[in-house]
Amino acid sequence: MNKNFKPEKTSQSVAKTTCYMCACRCGIDVHVKNNEVIHIEGNRDHPVNKGVLCAKGSSGIFQHKAASRLQKPLLREGERGEGKFKEISWEKALEIAVKWLKPLRKKSPEKLVFFTGRDQSQSFTGWWAQQFGTPNYAAHGGFCSVNMAAAGIYTIGGSFWEFGTPDWDQTKLLVLLGVAEDHDSNPIKIGLGKLKNRGGKIVAVNPVRTGYNAIADQWLGIKPGTDGLLILSLVHVLLQRKKIDLEYLQFFTNAPFLVSVSESSDDNGMFLRDKDGVPLVVDQKTSKLKQFTDKTVIPALTKAHKIGEKSYTSVFSLMIEKYLDEKYAPSNVADECGIPATTINGLADQIADVAFNQSISINQTWTDFRGKKRDRFVGRPVSFHAMRGISAHSNGFQTCRAIHILQIILGTIDVPGGFRYKPPYPKPSSAHPKPHFNFGKDRPLDGPHLGYIAGPEDLGYREDGSMARIDKAYTWENPMSAHGLMHTVISNCYNGDPYKIDTLFMYMANMAWNSSMNTEETIKKLTEKNSDTGDYVIPRIIYSDSYYSETVAYADLILPDTTYLERHDCISLLDRPIGEPDMVCDAIRWPVVQPDRDVRGFQDVLLDLGVKLQLPGMIQENGEALYGSYADYIQQHERRPGVGPLAGFRGEDQKSSGRGAPNDNQIECYKENGGFWSEEIPLEAQYYKPWNKSYQQWAVKMGLYDAEQPFVFQIYLEPLAKLQKTRDLPKHLKPKKELEKRISEKMDPLPIWWSNVDPEKAKSFPYSAITQRPAAMYHSWGSQNIWLRQIHGSNKLFVSEDIWAKHSFTDGDWAKVTSETSSITVPVALMRGQNKDTIWTWNAIGKRSGTWGLANDVDEAKKGFLLNHLISDLLPEKPDGYRWSNSDPITGQAAWYDLMVRIEKVDNKKELSLPQFPIIKSPIATGKKQVK
Amino acid sequence: MTDLPKCENKKLGLLIDLDICVGCHACVVSCKEWNSSGDTKQLSDVNAHQKEPIGTFLNHVHSYEKENMDKNESEPFYFPKSCLHCEDAPCVTVCPTGASYKRPEDGIVLVNEDDCMGCGLCAWACPYGARELDLLSGVMKKCTLCVDRIDNQDLPEEDRVPACVKSCPTGARSFGDFNDPNSKVSKISRDRSGVDLMPEMKTKPVNKYLLPRIKSNFDKELDRKESSELNVSGFLSWVDKALDKL
Amino acid sequence: MHPAPSIILFTILSGFGFGVITWIGILQYFSMVSSLEVISFSILGGFFAVIGLISSTFHLANKKNAIKSFSQWRSSWLSREAVASVICLSLVFINVSFVFFEKYSLSLVGITASIFSFITVFTTSMIYAQLRSIPAWNTMLTPLIFLSASILGGAILLKQDYALYGLVFFSVIQLLFWVYSDSSEKNMKTNLSTALGFNENNSIRSFDKAHTNQNYLLNEMVYKVGRKHSKRIRYISFLFAVLIPSGLILLNNHDSYLVAFIFSFLHLLGLYFSRWLFFAEAVHVVSFYYEGN
């Protein structure tokens, strides 16, 4: 810096757009000079991040200028996995794609398998796949966090993640469960800072005490996979102390619903409903039956009912019976969870104290859906947030349901100080579509692929009893798989099970590396050939991405995507929204610079393909393109009348919100507004949203639904009860015999907990092995970034003090970690602040030689490692020869964190992590050595 | 002259709150980014895509864990470290060329790169590791408290703070005048007893750190009446009665 | 501290060169040497001093600004060293020129050169001794060891009868220095707790790195040498720097400068090891951030 330094203007222009590194979608200011990005910082006016920006977003320049960027469409020349490609024109590339896809569309659209990874445009890609007509579409939620989403939607019509948030300004006690740096990172960090400075308390439940868990006021170092037991124990204690919100349970949940408990009755396990199908409750005063929506009803919680021989018990009574059981007492769960009973009791006491003795209220009249007027929003200021640590277990769905039950009995959902929904949520499962599977020649699918089933009648079986989808979603092995099962796709395509397919088309998902279990096996399946024909078993693979990842080499045709600063996108209410509890928001991305290479935005390419394939919805009557580009689609497309991807600046006056005619100047309006649109929710509609008439009316006005959708929380999940009763099902829907026991045990309509650990194997594999996302990187996208890779250039396996001492590890040692599936050799490090029976590492740092624009001998490849190699997508063979999927039995969520291992010290003179994979050649050059 | 200036109007510096830093590295990268972008491309990276990358960073975040002897628990915490703009900066007086200097008007310690010969003595003198030699330009680099932001009239006023302060998501970094007893940083530092790093080095750091607060202990159960072991029917009848009252 | 060969050679060779200059000026003043000796040893001393100074510039990353290092003599020991060495060498030049051309012995100039030579070595040592960030150096033993090494080197070459006293003195200082160095590591007031702002001694350790590869701070200032290894090098250093020269001097009958030069060389070899340890064993307090307790 010169002594006489005079600060200068930083750039010619500031473009406001949206970051892309994670599911936060922060607003960023991009300074551009001569079509070059010269500086990126946070947008102060943006509702999500208010000017802050994390390490990932701040390093955006080198994400955008990454050496690993693909330059031109590629056609594979060598073998899959070799990395030998030739560059082709876009014209040629699309010609090839059409040549492959057109015949499929005509004869057997299900043979196109189209799955997307980390994109944020599922609303569009799903619609495209629907128009193509294949049932085989989903995004990555199945291996990500479907447990969280499904449990939440079914129970409370919302979820953690970016669908809801703790009330950062008013909560007094926040409980974090299984949260590492994850969705939705910056708002959580902003909130945590605010909360601590206000004097609020944070309790963190996580096997590892890093990140948010480090700043918590109390940390519970729980054993992985046992959170459900802890939660139900807290429920048990609260019931014992009589610290539950009876009024909330009465009026806002299905606690008063009557469940048929007569074994022989044909409505056994179902709710008592009147002839219109409306569930009935007993009135506390009159003891007579009334509709639960009745304006005058005061629902009883404990009164049973009998109709002839049929007995009905309230959900509430069933819940009490279940959770007052001694097995949930803290002293009986302490060992399993690794948390002392006094801590559990103490935590329950704290929660109860804050919820009931420190309640708050906001004076505001509001009317509930029954027409009852109230004069305040009562707030019980305990909030919860949960993430992947809960989700990525095979008991994750029930565990997440348990968390919601805990929130419900505390009366703390969508109240001041509690968990609050972000628009367009709450949206009960009934307001979501059902899944659709009806495919046929030369026509679109009969509806959106993914949705929420109400019972076995909605499962994905064809009339002949075969499974409709390649990923076997919505079948008895995983009936509520609301996000599909991307992690089974490659296996099933390879096995031709349930049927053979032709083209596998993937977008932005590193399936040949860190997004698959048992990477070596996955790679084999992508590269194996039929012995008789010499063709690949999976005939054709099309892959689209921006960067040269480990998966690119395994595809046949590569469609290179732009970077996030070169594209249009919409962060839409129809997709994965942003927003605040008091505000509805959406946002855009737009090209702040033009690409300097021959790449095209993937969504533009899809539209182009759609026109060439003459898909309905993408063409006009004369067969010409309906939309000129993805930007055009964003502005013009109407999913429902007046409702399009972006909710702001609609209508001829360009001022309508939510509903309005398409505006072909809409994107410009967003640009002028800072890249986003937002509108406040009126105060009388801000709380108690599922039952708040003002909110329901506002939501209809805003186009979030077409009719008011008030609902009550589903403590007892009737669809699960329906799934449990498999007796009277038609033949094509009946489950296999091997599944019957599991269905009857695990699909309990009230949350339960089971252990993921096989006690026989616990001796051979005594430790839990998990990963966490590092704050400065996200999935595999960090290592190509020349700044971020200096922070995490390789990873170590962190072990507890107990394990460290037991195996006499010292600094610099290596260890062999073995699971039932395989073993890896990795460097170890000591961390004391973690559960004593757990080992862990940072996620996705290990890379493969030759990829990501890095030199072949980088630490990322030689010392970095993945735990994926230890995990198999199928559990070991059972005595009957059957291999269960390594996933949640209800949603199919990949159970990454169920992994159990043993560890031993090894000599590793070469200091190479194992397994090592052969170098992949790269069609793009290694990045520069010196960067100034 | 690299003598320390005699009087200062302001003592600008940072207040770092270790109690809410979650170790996200936003400050590390946004600092690197501000100082590597636009017209001031200052910080280089060598072996950027190769083995053993080395780049110049002005701010680092370390990860530590502290033993809590009472609870037999380990308490991890994160530690961001950048130049403390010391009152008695040893890096200023050791500099032979006069490149290293402390601004009299606000106390910010800077390097005049036109004069720096890259001897590294200032880095040796700094106990905190605040200075790094940039391998490609051959001169010493350090935190400048973003003088090119705080004095920059082209930025809106609210953005005239160091890049790290703007980007910190938890608000663990604050910027201000420690010579003004009413400034935010002075007040908070007083209220929460902000500390100096290595006071025995007698550098009189201006940046202050707020140590992690004591973690609470929930193992003490709150006072409550002895609740009898409720059985299901007892509980249900309590609920029934309670609902009658409501 | 990373023991950079260029810096070690700089201090050894320049120390030796200035030591020779110091002695020759004194001997000239007391007319104990011939004009030829004045000229040759001034040049020899000057030569080693300059080689040393040039060696030090290899450590500079931006050499074009080296000329500016003369400007801050009011506050910077390094600047003072630059100024003092130039004054000293100028005086030597003047002295030698007069003796050579004018055949006139400017013994006042000579002795002044000696004084400035002594000052130069002192300023060199103060560059290191002033640093509180390296507690092992922050002692008067540092200038003592530099000065005694410099004087001793010159004496072995030019005045062997005094050299024995020098060897004894140097041994004492060297041993005291090693004792001080070992104890300062044990008794340092600074540790990871104070480095992080805690005032009591807490049990703190680093569990994850700030960056997974090396950086300038680690390369320059964090260096580990094993206890056994360092002990071995101390023995070797003492052997060559003190014991062998002492023995040789006691047994020496030859009154030859060549022989003396060989003795000096052996002494300098030992001194190299000592100086290497001076750097390698010195703990810079920034190490705490990287190593933990």
CA distance B130 to chain A (A): 16
- A2 vs B149: CB contact, 8 Å cut-off? no
Chain A residues close to B99, C-beta within 8 Å:
none
- For the segment A238-268, what is each residue's pLDDT rounded down to a tens digit? 999 999 999 999 999 999 999 999 988 889 9
pLDDT tens digit sequence for A864-890: 999 999 999 888 887 777 788 899 999
Q: pLDDT tens, A324-373? A: 999 999 999 999 999 999 999 999 999 999 999 999 999 999 999 999 99
- Our CA angle for A23, A25, A29, nearest 5°, is 150
Tell me which H or E stretch contains B57.
Answer: none
Q: Which residues of B touch C82 (CB under 8 A)?
A: 96
Chain A within 8 Å of C208 (Cβ-Cβ)? yes
The CA distance from C260 to C266, in Å, is 10
What are A13's strand-pairing partners? A32
Residue B23: list chain A partners with CB under 8 A: 210-211, 214, 775
Residue A897: what residue type?
Y
Residues of chain B with confidence (pLDDT) below 70: 1-2, 7-8, 38-41, 217-229
Q: Sort out which chain A residues have CB atoms less than 8 A from B51's CB and list them.
A: 855, 857-859
Mean pLDDT over all residues of chain A?
Answer: 94
Give backbone dihedrals phi and psi of C237, rounded to 5 degrees, phi first. -60, -50
Which phi and psi angles does B144 have, rounded to 5°? Answer: -105, 10
Disruptive mutation site among B243, B245, B246 for chain A (greatest number of A CBs within 10 Å): B243
Average pLDDT over residues A886-914: 95
Chain A residues whose beta carbon lies within 8 Å of the beta carbon of residue B110:
1, 3
Model pLDDT, residue B218 = 61
Residue A892 has pLDDT above 80, yes or no: yes
Which residues on C lie below 8 Å from B123 (Cβ)?
Answer: 216-217, 220-221
As a whole number of angstroms, the distance between CA A488 and CA A500 comes to: 14
Secondary structure class of C278 (helix, strand, coil): helix
Pair A788, A878: CB distance under 8 Å: no
Task: Measure the CA–CA gap between C142 and C174, rounded to whole angstroms.
Answer: 9
- Chain B contact set for A55 (CB, 8 A): 24-26, 28-30
Q: CA angle at residue C262 from C260 to C268, to 5 degrees? A: 105
Q: How far is C284 from chain B (nearest CA, A)?
A: 7
Structure-token pair, residue A456: 């076995």
Closest CA to A100 of A527, A538, A446, A491: A538
Q: Output the pLDDT for position B7.
A: 67
C213 touches chain A (CB under 8 A): yes
Best interface-test mutation with B: which of C7, C59, C68, C73 has the largest number of B CBs within 10 A?
C68
**Quick one: pLDDT band at residue A5, thresholds 50, 70, 90?**
very low
Are the C-beta atoms of residues A504 and A512 closer than 8 Å to each other? Answer: no
> B residues 152-181 near C, CB within 8 Å?
none
Collect all residues with Cβ–Cβ distance below 8 Å to C235 and sequence separation of at least 6: none
Does pLDDT of A6 surpass 90? no
Burial class of A433 by CB neighbour count within 10 A (0 to 12, 13 to 18, 19+): exposed
Confidence check: pLDDT of A9 > 50: no
Q: Out of B24, B55, B111, whose CB is closest to A775?
A: B24
Q: Report the gap between the CA of C60 and the closest CA in chain B (Å).
A: 5
Average pLDDT of chain C is: 92
Q: Which of A793, A798, A830 sits opposite C212 (nearest CB)?
A: A793
pLDDT bucket at C293, cuts 50 / 70 / 90:
very low
Disruptive mutation site among C133, C137, C219 for chain B (greatest number of B CBs within 10 Å): C133
- Chains touching C by CB (3 or more pairs below 8 Å): A, B
Of all residues in chain B, the percent with pLDDT exceeding 70 is: 91
C65 touches A at CB < 8 Å? no
Over its C-alpha atoms, chain A yields an Rg (Å, rounded) of 27
Is C211 close to A830, i.e. CB distance below 8 A?
no
- Tell me how many residue pairs between chain B and chain C have CB atoms under 8 A apart: 192
Rounded CA-CA distance A768/A649 in Å is 51
Residue A673 has pLDDT above 60, yes or no: yes
Surface of B (214-243) touching C: CB under 8 A = none
What is the DSSP track for A684-751?
GGSSSTTTBHHHHHHHHHTTS-SS-----B-SS-HHHHHHH--TT--GGGPPPHHHHHHHHHH--SS-
A-chain residues near C224 (CB < 8 A): none
C-alpha–C-alpha distance, residues A403 and A421, integer Å:
16
Give the span between the Cα atoms of A823 and A865, in whole angstroms. Answer: 12
Cβ-based contacts of B108 with chain A (< 8 Å): none
| Chain C residues inside the 8 Å CB shell of B55 | 215
Probe site for chain C from A790, A800, A857, A863 (most C CB atoms < 10 A) = A790
Cα–Cα dist A251/A366, whole Å: 15
Q: Residue A794: list chain C partners with CB under 8 A.
A: 212
How crowded is residue A892: how many other Cβ atoms within 10 Å of its Cβ? 33
Cβ contact (<8 Å) for B75 and A350?
no
Between CA A21 and CA A788 the distance in angstroms is 12
Chain A residues with CB under 8 Å of B30 CB are 41, 53, 55, 58
CA distances from B142 to A924, B32, B35, B100, B111 (A): 35, 11, 10, 10, 7
Cβ-nearest to A930 among B48, B216, B237:
B48
Which H or E run contains A545?
A: strand A540-545
Q: Is the pLDDT score of A118 beyond 80? A: no
Q: Does A793 touch chain C (CB under 8 A)?
A: yes
A822 contact partners, CB below 8 Å, separation of at least 6: A518, A520, A869, A870, A872
Instruction: For A153-218, give the DSSP string.
Output: HHHHS--SGGGEEE-TTT-SEEEEES--S-SSHHHHHHHHHHHHHHT-EEEEE-SB--THHHHSSE
Half-sphere exposure in the Cβ direction for A476 (13 Å, CA): 21
Q: What residue of A is the nearest CA neighbor of C215?
A: A790
Neighbours of chain B (3+ CB pairs under 8 A): A, C
Mean pLDDT for A798-826 is: 96
Give the A window 171-200 contacts with C, CB below 8 Å.
Answer: none
Question: Of the candidates C207, C208, C213, which has its C-beta nearest A793's C-beta?
Answer: C213
The rounded percent of chain A whose pLDDT value lies above 90 is 90
Q: How confident is the model at residue C292 (pLDDT cuts 50, 70, 90)?
A: low
Locate C203 and state its tokens: 């049990």
pLDDT of residue A218: 93
3-class DSSP string for A241-253 = CCCCCHHHHHHHE
* C205, C210, C212 member nearest A794 (Cβ): C212
Q: What is the mean pLDDT of residues A35-42?
A: 92
Chain A with chain C: Cβ pairs closer than 8 A: 24
**C65:B116 CB<8 A:** yes
Alpha-carbon distance of B50 to A858, in angstroms, equals 6
- CA A570-A575-A579 angle, 5° bins: 75
Nearest CA in chain C to A832: C207
Would the CB atoms of A1 and B137 count as touching at under 8 Å?
no
C65 with B114: Cβ contact below 8 A: yes
State the burial class of residue A195 (Cβ atoms within 10 Å of its Cβ: 0-12, 13-18, 19+). buried
pLDDT at A8 over 60: no
Q: Please give the torsion angle defined by the CA atoms of residues A83, A89, A91 and A97, in that order, rounded to the nearest 10 degrees.
A: 0
Q: Which of C68, C74, C192 sits opposite B1 (nearest CB)?
A: C74
pLDDT at A7 over 90: no
Residue A254 and residue A272 in contact, taking contact as beta carbons nearer than 8 Å? no
Q: What is this model's ipTM? A: 0.95
Q: Determine the Cα–Cα distance for residues C23 and A134; give it in Å rounded to an integer.
A: 96
Cross-chain Cβ contact A830/C213 below 8 Å: no
Q: Which of A58, A61, A321 sits opposite B232 (nearest CB)?
A: A321
Distance CA A80, CA A550 (A): 11
Measured distance CA(A273)–CA(A250) in Å, rounded? 17
Between CA B159 and CA B168, with CA B162 as vertex, the angle to 5 degrees is 90
Nearest neighbour of B239 by CB, restricted to A33, A55, A302: A302
